[in-house]
Amino acid sequence: MNLTLRIWRQSGPQDKGRMVTYQVDDVSPDMSFLEMLDVLNERLILAGEEPVAFDHDCREGICGMCGLMINGDAHGPQRGTTACQLHMRQFSDGDTIDIEPWRARAFPVIKDLVVNRNAFDKIIAAGGYVTAPTGSAPEAHSVPVAKADADAAFESAACIGCGACVAACPNGSGMLFTAAKVTQLSLLPQGQPERYTRVIGMVDAHDEAGFGGCTNAGECTVVCPKGIPLTTIGRLNRDYLTATSRHADTPGT
Amino acid sequence: MAVTGILLVLFLIAHMLGNLKIFSGASSFDHYAHWLREIGVPLLPSAGFLWIQRVGLLTAVLLHIWAATVLALRARAARPVRYAHRKKVRGSYAARTMRWGGVIILLFVIYHILDLTTGTLNPVGDPSRPYANVVADFAPQRWYVTAFYTLAIVALGFHLRHGVFSALRSLGQQTPRGEQRARVVALVFAVVLCAGYLVVPFAVLTGLVS
């Protein structure tokens, strides 16, 4: 396969950045998308040019590091797939592929296709944890959890924090991520003590980071590589409404 | 957004049911319009209830627009650099057109008040004869009025289709089955309301009501 790539090049946070066209020949359809970029980078290095910077780690679709806007699709055309698990057989010979970084004020570009997703860490730090005793795992039957709750919590816990929801959102909102991190704890007994302070803290941190507001447009769930459902945002909304209308069980208020 | 939207939706239902009185004849329709002014009398002055309702609706509309503006400005600020290649939003057409649809509806509401409340832009323009106003409004030679009315109502339908679902979600609808139900309810509600509003001008246009 011979492909034309238009890639966003930006030497640093201060640089204005631009789309640069590259030709990549002899791409195997069995390559992953990132392997195709590796091939391009090796050629650039041999030619004495600066290779294209992009984030990646596990290349197994579970770490959440890779994140590319491919032809206007977060993680590319295949649903439920991260960019690293996307294969070149999804494209055809002679295609032109546009590759851009996630675009959000809260995700500033560090270089080329690499963005700083520190804003997600700040949201987690604002409440995405439990004050349960740590140590070895407790006996599984000691705390009963309803099957439906366990399933819904697990569905949310599948979030890998890649940021595709923000990238695809017409409002640049990170609400699907925030909702997933709230829901995975609020549905389980271990998450109950901080349930209502958590949701307020995390939504506040989300807004402070410069993400947009959610309008339930539903783009996020379409591109989410882990298929986090849009109903998760409803669970967050319900917790938020309860938290803001009831103060009796919040210490110090 | 959701709370003010629901208040406006409740008004839309009442307004549609009132409009449908036109099929029970001129005297019945005019009597209904007159009765609206008499609600609460003698406790309230004449048209007192209407003014309370107008103030309430105006507040809801202003808060609704304010919330929408805040969301739109936040969305703009959240993505300072745009994508060079952006797919069309794959959610629904309704979700995509909420903002511009809202603007069309606002312009229509302003025209609609000048037309059928104050009578300024109406060929009859007599507040005591609302039936005659409506019939004159949608006469075949004034087809452009009917066209604009239809455009606005269809925009309203799309606005409600996403708006009703989104309001339910904002107020805590949280289960997958509930989501399916909420989407069906929003669609059916939007279609019924559209039909209920459009049947009046088209009845006048075709001579069913004259």
* Substitution target from A4, A68, A223, A231 for chain B, most B beta carbons within 10 A: A231
Q: What local confidence, expressed as pLDDT, does residue A247 receive?
A: 63
Verify that A46 and A28 share a domain, yes or no: yes
Q: Is A236 within 8 Å of A177 (Cβ atoms)? A: no
Listed range (A38-47, A157-166, B134-143) with the worst mean pLDDT: B134-143
At B93, list the tokens: 């057409």
Q: Roughly how many angstroms between the first and final C-alpha of chain B, as a whole number?
A: 39
User: What is the rounded average pLDDT of the residues B182-189?
Assistant: 97
CA pair distance A216, A203, nearest whole angstrom: 16
Predicted pLDDT at B209:
86
- Number of independent structural domains in chain B: 1
Quote ipTM for the complex: 0.90
Domain that holds residue B36: 2-77+93-205
Task: Verify whether the Cβ–Cβ distance B85 to A219 is below 8 Å.
Answer: no
Question: Exposure of B32 by Cβ count < 10 A (0-12 exposed, 13-18 middle, 19+ buried)?
Answer: middle
Q: Identify whether A189 is part of a domain.
A: yes
Most B-contacting residue of A215, A219, A228, A237 (CB-CB within 10 A), to test interface: A215
Beta carbon pairs, A and B, within 8 Å = 106
pLDDT of residue A250: 56
Q: Which of A62-66, A160-164, B34-38, B90-94 has the lowest mean pLDDT?
A: B90-94
For B113, phi and psi rounded to 5 degrees? Answer: -70, -40
* Chain B residues closer than 8 Å to A215 by CB: 71, 75, 95, 98, 166
Whether B89 and A106 lie within 8 Å, measured CB to CB: no
Nearest chain A CA: its distance from B59 CA (Å): 22
Q: What is the CATH number of the domain that holds A179?
A: 1.10.1060.10
Listed residues A82, A110, A138: the one ending a domain? A110
Q: Which domain holds residue A227?
A: 117-245
Residue B85 belongs to some domain of the structure:
no
**pLDDT tens profile A218-244:** 999 999 999 999 999 999 999 999 998
Distance to chain B for A68, nearest Cα, Å: 12
* pLDDT in the model for residue B11: 97
Which residue from B192, B118, B107 is spatially nearest to B151, judged by alpha carbons?
B107
The least confident of A20-24, A31-35, B95-99 is B95-99
| DSSP label of B94 | H
For the segment B149-184, what is each residue's pLDDT rounded down to a tens digit? Answer: 999 999 999 999 999 999 999 999 999 999 999 999
Total number of domains in chain A: 2
pLDDT per position as a tens digit, A46-55: 999 999 999 9
Domain end call among A59, A81, A110: A110
Over chain B, what is the mean pLDDT?
A: 93
The pLDDT of residue A132 is 74
Per-residue pLDDT tens over the stretch A169-216:
999 999 999 999 999 999 998 899 899 999 999 999 999 999 999 999
Q: Averaged over A140-153, what is the pLDDT?
A: 91
Asked whether residue A100 falls in the same domain as residue A156, the answer is: no
